[in-house]
Amino acid sequence: MPDGRRVDLWLLRCPGPGTPPGPHVRPDSHVRADTRVRPDPDVRPDPDPLADPGVLDVLDAAERKRAASLRRPADRALYVASHLALRTLLGAYLRVPAREVVLVREPCPGCGGPHGRPAVPGTPPPLHFSLSHSHGLALIGVAAVPVGVDVQRVPGPGTVDACAPSLHPAERAELERLPPGARPGAFAQLWARKEAYLKGIGTGLSRPASADYLGADTRSRPHGWTVTDLPRADGHTAAVAVLGTAPPTPAVRRLPVRLTSPHLTSPTDDHAPGRQRPRAHRPVGKATGGYP
């Protein structure tokens, strides 16, 4: 179970049909991965994962409905795989099988209705989590306090021009001071920070993007939160936001693709969170993401 300042970050790469296996993040040297948990490059997701009755047994009704609404097979496969992995991970933390993990909805920060972010029941909850997935990559954050994670793909200049007016005035000014070639990368990292923070406070994008400053000046970011850039590589960015003070360099661990199997009721001792014995660390491969 996570405690204190510890933040657990778990990375899963789920290649779509016809996608060759490859590395999934090339982080800076200070972000490391446990080499005992690595994906099996020979595993491919089922083109129609909802056809597997095991999936229906693990995911709840809302997750099954959302998965069924995704028309692209690769999007559906990633959604199902990441949510199966999330439930398996939470089950390992809570010491229950994945199919017995119960998730509830927190009250909406805007209206108080029962449609806020998903959470583990409890007062206070035994742990907090956040999930972000896009273009074959899923990032899961688990902590003892509220946490948000996000992955983004560096967009083209047109996307930056279209989205920049919605940013905080100081963020817009920072982007405008950059040379044109540097703006897409800076915007992607800024947007990853912003979404991670908004997920952390529970509002998501229902809160205006202009309401909070998540720019380069760490002293001006929201008080009481630690927002950390994860390594940028091959055109993608990621960030994690944690309530309070968090380690400056949270570790990123790889999840094995087998954790996406609905027939796995709980991880083995080798893959259960907190059970890894110390090992030599090395960077993980390349992260992919995209704008939702």
Kindly report the three-state secondary structure assignment for every residue of 216-279. CCHHHCCCCEEEEEEEEECCEEEEEEEECCCCCCCCEEECCHHHHCCCCCCCCCCCCCCCCCCC
Q: Which domain does 122 fall in, by range?
A: 1-145+251-263
Residue with tokens 């590589």: 233
Tell me, yes or no, whether 107 and 77 share the same domain.
yes
pLDDT at 95 over 90: yes
138-172 pLDDT, tens digit per residue, is: 889 999 999 999 988 889 999 999 999 999 999 99
Tell me, yes or no, whether 127 and 168 share the same domain.
no
Higher pLDDT, 121 or 267: 121
pLDDT-derived band at 282, boundaries 50, 70, 90? very low
Q: Which of 16-25, 111-120, 164-173, 264-273 has the highest mean pLDDT?
A: 164-173
> Could you tell me the CATH number of the domain that includes residue 95?
3.90.470.20
Could you tell me what percent of the chain has a pLDDT over 90? 47
> What number is the average pLDDT over the span 59-70?
92
Q: Which residues 6+ apart lie within 8 Å of 42 measured at CB?
A: 21
CA 81 to chain centre: 13
- Residue 234 identity: D
Cα separation, 288 vs 282, in Å, equals 19
* Closest residue by Cα to residue 254 from 71, 47, 32: 32
Tokens of 113: 């209705």
On whether residue 33 sits in a domain, the answer given is yes
On whether residue 184 sits in a domain, the answer given is yes
On whether residue 287 sits in a domain, the answer given is no
Q: What is the pTM of this model?
A: 0.78
Tell me, yes or no, whether 37 and 110 share the same domain.
yes
Tell me, yes or no, whether 88 and 214 share the same domain.
no
On whether residue 141 sits in a domain, the answer given is yes
Higher pLDDT, 80 or 275: 80
Does residue 122 contact residue 104 with C-beta atoms inside 8 Å? no
On whether residue 273 sits in a domain, the answer given is no
Work out how many domains the chain is built from and give that number: 2
Confidence at residue 292, expressed as pLDDT on a 0 to 100 scale: 32
ω into residue 124 within 30 of 0, thus cis? yes
Cα separation, 245 vs 288, in Å, equals 27
Tell me, yes or no, whether 12 and 116 share the same domain.
yes
On whether residue 201 sits in a domain, the answer given is yes
Tell me, yes or no, whether 82 and 129 share the same domain.
yes
Mapped onto helix, strand or coil, the DSSP state of residue 149 is strand
Tell me, yes or no, whether 194 and 257 share the same domain.
no
Tell me, yes or no, whether 89 and 157 share the same domain.
no
Q: Checking DSSP bridges between strand 225-233 and strand 236-243, what pairing results, if any? A: antiparallel
Confidence at residue 261, expressed as pLDDT on a 0 to 100 scale: 65
Tell me, yes or no, whether 130 and 185 share the same domain.
no
pLDDT at 271 over 70: no
Tell me, yes or no, whether 102 and 201 share the same domain.
no
Tell me, yes or no, whether 9 and 68 share the same domain.
yes
Tell me, yes or no, whether 136 and 198 share the same domain.
no
Confidence at residue 247, expressed as pLDDT on a 0 to 100 scale: 65
Higher pLDDT, 52 or 206: 206
Confidence at residue 110, expressed as pLDDT on a 0 to 100 scale: 81
